[in-house]
Amino acid sequence: MNGIHVPLITPFDETGDVALRVLDREAHDALAAGAAGLVGLGTTGEPGSLSAAERTSILDVLTGIGAPLTIGANTRAELDELRGRPTVTAALTLVPPFLRPGEDGVVAHFEALIQVSPVPIVVYHVPYRTGQQLSAHTLRRLAAIDGIIGVKYATGGVDPDVIDLLADPPPDFAILCGDDAVTSPMLALGAAGAILTSANVAPGAFTDLAAAWRDGDTTRARTLGARLARMSAALFAEPNPAVVKAVLHATGRIPTPAVRLPLLPATAASLRAALSAATLPAHR
């Protein structure tokens, strides 16, 4: 699992329904810009606010595209929804949130889930949301489980554990950046790719960044990485994905900037700052 993967927002129309045709277009545009794959029903897609019928409709749209697809699925029931959908190549599964079961508990949890999952699993490690820290040693234990193929690493920065992992990565285990603002240094250290909310806004720029590091064009990579880090900081000035949706709406790409409670729409000030920081693709 390499390259830039775009965790798609869930667009809503003027009636509050999921705008499925818009979702399909945004997915195709991301792929046309060079994205290696798509992620559906991740945190950026506001899955907790969706009904079961809406989740199924989104799955139907995204699985019909035919591109490599990772789906956010954290429970046995959610994993079972992926059965019989051949374009779903992986599930993105959170480290158990809130409970803080300890590192042995996390390993046991994923050992149990992979036994029932119809697809490989990418571990979503985001301790500032889950409350559970994982050491490099524990991530290597997870990597050794058959069917665990990677980690979305989102600890809030480039820390000693990920430096340890990237210095000697486990075989057949993708270390993916999950913190948009530090994508460039993570790629420089050898990350296989990234799952980036900010790539909803500028997928081509992030694929160019990954290509620059891969090709050894460090001057271009550093310059582009600095610009994209500033853009990402502006897009995350308020809870995700409020500012991203505001930018996509302001540029004519989605019908409304609406998010669902408990999220609130982005403020005008955050939208202005994000538009100023972003280099936006032309809208068709």
Read off the pLDDT of residues 145-155 as tens digits, 9 standing for 90 and up: 999 999 999 99
Domain of 187, in residue numbers:
3-217
pLDDT digits (tens, 9 = 90+) for 45-73: 999 999 999 999 999 999 999 999 999 99
Given pLDDT bands bounded at 50, 70 and 90, which one contains residue 179? very high
| CA-wise closest residue to 152 among 195, 99, 211, 105 | 195
Tokens of 85: 């959908």
E-strand ranges in the chain read: 3-7, 37-40, 69-72, 88-94, 121-125, 148-153, 174-177, 193-195
128 in catalytic set: no
* Terminal Cα-to-Cα distance of the chain (whole angstroms): 30
Given pLDDT bands bounded at 50, 70 and 90, which one contains residue 278? confident
Q: Which of 128, 152, 153, 245 is catalytic?
A: 152
DSSP string, 213-274: HHHT-HHHHHHHHHHHHHHHHHHTSSSTTHHHHHHHHHTTSSS-----TTS-PPPHHHHHHH
The answer as to whether 110 is a domain residue is yes
DSSP 43: G
The answer as to whether 271 is a domain residue is no
The answer as to whether 155 is a domain residue is yes
Say what the pLDDT of residue 115 is.
Answer: 97
CATH code where residue 62 lies: 3.20.20.70
pLDDT digits (tens, 9 = 90+) for 78-137: 999 999 999 999 999 999 999 999 999 999 999 999 999 999 999 999 999 999 999 999
* Number of CB atoms found within 10 A of residue 214's CB: 13
Distance of CA 111 to the CA centre of its chain: 23
The answer as to whether 17 is a domain residue is yes
Residue 20 has pLDDT above 50, yes or no: yes
Tokens of 70: 């990772």
Residue 77 has pLDDT above 80, yes or no: yes
152 in catalytic set: yes
* Number of CB atoms found within 10 A of residue 108's CB: 12
Say what the pLDDT of residue 284 is.
Answer: 36
The answer as to whether 107 is a domain residue is yes
Q: Which of 124, 128, 153, 245 is catalytic?
A: 124
The answer as to whether 43 is a domain residue is yes
Q: How many domains does the chain have?
A: 1
Q: What is the mean pLDDT of the chain?
A: 96
The answer as to whether 270 is a domain residue is no
pLDDT digits (tens, 9 = 90+) for 200-250: 999 999 999 999 999 999 999 999 999 999 999 999 999 999 999 999 999
Residue 282 has pLDDT above 90, yes or no: no
